[in-house]
Amino acid sequence: MKTYDSPPRGDPLAPRPCVLCAGTSFKRLWKLEGFSFARCTSCGLIQQNPQPLREAVLARYGEDYLAYEAERQFDYRALELKALADLSFDQLVAPLLDDAKARGRKPRLLDVGCATGALLEHFQGLGWAVTGVEASEAQAIYGRKTYGLDIRASTLEDAKLAAASFDLVHASQLIEHLNDPGAFLLETRRLLGPGGLLFLATPNADGFQARLLGRRWRSAINDHLYLFSLSTISDLLDECGFEILATATWGGWAQGLKPGFIKPSLDRWAKARGRGDVMAIAARPRTAGRGGTNA
């Protein structure tokens, strides 16, 4: 079964240069109902190109998403926490926590695409100062009412948060939905204070399931404008001034796919080889070198 998705609505499509290499030559990869994926012939990034404009993309995230997310919010939070653990989260954030303590303030977390705010609620309970950004207003309102959280109903760019105002930015299953993932990464870099960390999770287009299933892969959906591999996301992070600290992938065989008995061994194999279905990445702004300084 595919991931939750908005059905294509015949939105006008516009071609755009490749977000990673600015190339304009694409080879059709998968044709689906009302949309298709292409591969950039220069850098290999898989993308919808042409793709719907920003306004049409934003209009997708309404009430329907709330019902879907609210029902699964604790399952998703458990997966997000597992991903963070796989990236050795506790070790990576230890210096940030020490620094915040020395300054007599709470460590500051921003969750972009925070949905109902379940992850923020968890970190708030651990003593973090938490802020959420969520394009779906219905979900932002749910999180404010249910958990008393500070959630901005906005895109990250439109939220206009102060520079260097966060120690940690988290964005799970978000970057593949954005028209301009490069602009998003540059904005997160602006928001991170010295020593700040970025944690991302996104489908792995180089994973076992993507390679096996092709256009039937559960993440080959209308709402995903980009499908990254570890190689293409690493290149984009590098271009936007980040260095990668840790990566992990997981999920070898989809839940419910037959035969089910091979799932445990395939899951282990995929994880060991970096061929898992979803990948998570920890990165930090580079302080010097290509992509400029973190000034």
Tell me which residues touch Zn ion (CB under 5 A). 18, 20-21, 23, 40, 42-43, 45
Shortest Cβ 18–Zn ion spacing (Å): 3
Nearest-approach distance from CB 16 to Zn ion, in angstroms: 11
DSSP 6: P
**What tokens were used for 133?**
């950004």
Nearer to Zn ion, 20 or 93 (CB): 20
Nearest approach in angstroms of CB 13 to Zn ion is: 18
What is the smallest separation between the CB atom of 209 and Zn ion, expressed in angstroms?
A: 23
Omega prior to 194 cis, within 30 of 0: no
Strand order in the sheet with 166-172: 151-153, 129-134, 108-112, 166-172, 192-203, 278-285, 242-250
Which of residues 27 and 160 has its CB atom nearest to Zn ion in the complex? 27
Is 27 or 103 the residue whose CB approaches Zn ion more closely? 27
d(CA 201, CA 281): 6
Closest separation in Å from C-beta 40 to Zn ion: 3
166 vs 154: CA distance, rounded Å:
17
* Residue number with CB closer to Zn ion (18 or 281): 18
- Candidates 207, 198, 280, 202; CA nearest to 240 is 198
H-assigned helices in the chain: 54-58, 63-86, 89-102, 118-125, 137-147, 156-159, 181-191, 208-213, 230-239, 263-273
Name the residue nearer to Zn ion (CB basis): 40 or 168: 40
Q: How far is the CB of 101 from Zn ion (least distance, A)?
A: 43
**N- to C-terminal Cα separation, the chain:** 45
Minimum CB distance to Zn ion smaller for 23 or for 291? 23
